[in-house]
Amino acid sequence: MRVIAGSLKGRRLKSPSWSGLRPTSDKLRETLFNILAPRIVGARVLDGYAGTGAIGIEALSRGADAVTFVERESRALELVADNLERCGLREGYAIIRADMGRALARLRDAGDAFDIVLLDPPYADGPDDVLNAATGVMCAGSVLVIEQRKDRPTPLSAGRLMRTRQVASGDAMLTFYELSR
């Protein structure tokens, strides 16, 4: 894995040494950030189910103001921290160890709001609950992107979220949602 573009372009990132963590491929990350390019500079980004941290690090590399990484697994959190250090990043991010539902509630209660919410839950998990909860940390004009297995349906809407686009790559599907008024 590597950072694809921006100020950290080409930096190598550590991959997990254990099974069960499925990092987003370089190709899919490139597709994601090509679509998000007009929104990324200056954005506040939530990297949910952070895993290796590659998605949030890519956002920082491309000019996001701040990234909040959320991960519940301690080994993955160590990997995120290692990859941030490997890239020389010392500021502009926060790391939260919690399951996604609890983290979203805590962020909502603190009044945090994000321009971009990126979610890459385990493929076995369904997206519905987390989609509804994520609206509490989104602001007008926010976009939410969820990565799921291509053969797994995602809803047309979830609460105030409306699906606007889907992009398939390999066995993965990126589904884009925007917050309706």
Structure tokens at 51: 């895993």
Report the C-alpha gap between 111 and 97 in whole angstroms: 18
Q: How far is CA 113 from CA 136, 140, 143, in A?
A: 8, 10, 12
**pLDDT number for residue 67:** 98
DSSP secondary structure, 27-62, as one string: HHHHHHHHHHHHHHTT-EEEEES-TTSHHHHHHHHT
Give the contacts of 6 (CB within 8 A, at least 6 positions apart): 58, 60, 61, 62, 63
- Residues (pLDDT < 70) of the chain are 18-22, 123-128
Task: Give the tens place of pLDDT for each residue, 141-168.
Answer: 899 999 988 888 888 998 889 999 999 9
**pLDDT number for residue 180:** 79
Structure tokens at 116: 């971009």
Which residue type sits at 123? Answer: Y
**pLDDT number for residue 116:** 98
**pLDDT number for residue 102:** 94
Give strand pairing partners of 32: none
**pLDDT number for residue 129:** 74
Helix (H, G, I), strand (E, B) or coil at 179: strand
Burial class of residue 100 (count of CB atoms within 10 Å of its CB; 0-12, 13-18, 19+): buried
Q: Can you give the residue ranges of every domain in the chain?
A: 26-179
Asked if residue 163 lies in contact with residue 156, where contact means CB atoms within 8 angstroms, the answer is yes
Tell me the CATH number of domain 26-179, given options 3.40.50.150, 1.10.3720.10, 2.40.50.140, 3.90.1170.50.
3.40.50.150
